[in-house]
Amino acid sequence: MSEQLKAQLLGCDDLPSHVAIIMDGNGRWAQRMGKRRVVGHKAGVDKVREVVKTASELNLKALTLFAFSSENWQRPADEVSVLMELFLTVLSLEIKRLNRNNVKLSIIGDTTRFSDKLQTKIKNAQDLTKDNTGLVLNIAANYGGRWDVTQACQQLAGLVQQGKLSPEDISEELINQYVCTAQLPELDLLIRSGGDCRISNFLLWQAAYAELYFTETLWPDFDENEFLKAIASFSQVERRFGCTSEQVVATK
């Protein structure tokens, strides 16, 4: 089933270039089986591997995964600490494979709050893969959409203060170059697993014209077929960007 759908999608002109995923539902998945929430986080890692592989096979340009939000620090300390440990372990275990597969890894978010050990691992992983030309894999960690816009404003205000930029030169295009996803194609498709229909402070600026896809499936159950279904649904949508349907058809 999924091989057939994948083959179909490979021949399709309307694939998204940049897909983002809010990987939600790990805790509930574990709790439903009477297990601790962290068991769900561990099971979720396998699905990360699976979507990265499929995204590469479909030749998507960028995949941005929400791994830890700026609000997730508020969770119980032991859950936060398991998540940090998991991040460190997964980074160590997966980086060689990602590099072999020509994936360029980038961690987006305020990484200064992480331990020195984790910050070093992140830096090394990014350095190792920086010249790779395949899929750009962004892992959003301690990321918040409002933080992203704020840090872009701070950088631009700094340039104004230094006399290198005048306020009237601040345009949407310029702000785009200072948010964490600068250099990447526009976000086309935003997927959220776990049944909730909200953005939870993810890519606020970038999601302006993204197609939104929500599924009840909990993240540890989100397999390749679910991912392909989301992409297939994207490829069937008419994106009008404010125009009329007739205008869109005429420019095709």
**Who contacts 209 (Cβ-Cβ below 8 Å, separation ≥6)?**
186, 239, 241
Based on the shown chain and the rule CB under 5 A, indicate whether residue 24 belongs to the binding site for Mg ion. Answer: yes
Based on the shown chain and the rule CB under 5 A, indicate whether residue 218 belongs to the binding site for Mg ion. Answer: no
Binding part of the chain for Mg ion, among 9-17, 22-30, 102-110, 212-220 by CB under 5 A, reads 22-30
Based on the shown chain and the rule CB under 6 A, indicate whether residue 20 belongs to the binding site for ligand IPE. Answer: no
- Provide the angle, in degrees to the nearest 10, between the axes of the packed helices 37-57 and 77-100: 20
Is residue 116 among the annotated active site residues? no
Is residue 221 among the annotated active site residues? no
Site for ligand IPE in 61-120 (CB under 6 A): 66-69, 72, 83
Binding part of the chain for Mg ion, among 20-28, 29-37, 88-96, 217-225 by CB under 5 A, reads 20-28
Based on the shown chain and the rule CB under 6 A, indicate whether residue 28 belongs to the binding site for ligand IPE. Answer: yes
Active-site residue identified among 13, 59, 72, 127: 72
**Who contacts 68 (Cβ-Cβ below 8 Å, separation ≥6)?**
83, 87, 109, 140, 141, 142, 143
Helices (H), the chain: 2-10, 26-32, 37-57, 77-100, 116-129, 145-161, 172-178, 224-235, 245-251
Question: In the complex, which residues of this chain contact ligand IPE (CB under 6 A)?
Answer: 22-28, 66-69, 72, 83, 194, 196, 198, 200
Active site residues: 24, 72
